[in-house]
Structure 1
Amino acid sequence: MTVIRISRADSELSKLIDRVEAGEEIVLARDDAPVAKLVAVEDQQPQPVRGYGRLAHLRDKIPADLFLEPMSQDELDAWEGKYSHPADNGQ
């Protein structure tokens, strides 16, 4: 890793970029205090696009009527907050 003063880097920027592209890391310093680092940007691979049907293999494993059955009275009471403590719902 090479340390270069900012005043020098200002006049040699294109040369420094060539060195960074070759794999070198360069630290920029102001009055011998490091303030920044020049490093090469890694090649960004595009993320795969999520398409429709990614869970299609589960279609036959989930019963069709799973979400169509009515709630039991106990489940309905819980959904409507019958078993909630008054402090839980802001009262």
Structure 2
Amino acid sequence: MTLTIEIGEAQARLTELIAKVEAGEEIVIARGNEPVARLAPLNVVRPALVMNAIDEIRAVRARAKPVTREEILAWRHEGHRF
């Protein structure tokens, strides 16, 4: 969701707006009816998210059946025309 706010109000509520941006919201700052700037979250990778993803991948791999070397080589050449 995008929120549009006047410059003066943005100055007064900057801490609150930054918290909204950190939560994923986008803020457009306007002078009158004219948008002049945008506050948007940076695409920063958070270590906790990375560790959760790694844990999920490990859990999926633990449930999968073992793969042989021959299967991997067959997949590597799958679709090739010799």
TM-score (norm 1): 0.47
Identity %: 45
What amino acid is the match of 1:26? I
1:23-62 alignment, distance < 5 Å: 23-43=24-44
Question: How far off its partner does 1:32 sit?
Answer: 1.3
More helix by share: 2
- The answer on 1:7 being equivalent to 2:2 is no
In angstroms, what is the RMSD of aligned CA positions?
1.0
Question: How far off its partner does 1:35 sit?
Answer: 0.4
What amino acid is the match of 2:5? I
Q: Which runs of 5+ in 1 are unaligned?
A: 45-91
Q: Please identify the structure whose Cα radius of gyration is greater.
A: 1
Question: How far off its partner does 1:27 sit?
Answer: 0.2
Q: Which runs of 5+ in 2 are unaligned?
A: 46-82
Moved over 4 A (4+): none
1:35 & 1:3 partners in 2: Cα distance? 10
Question: How far off its partner does 1:43 sit?
Answer: 1.3
Tell me, what secondary structure is at the counterpart of 1:18? helix
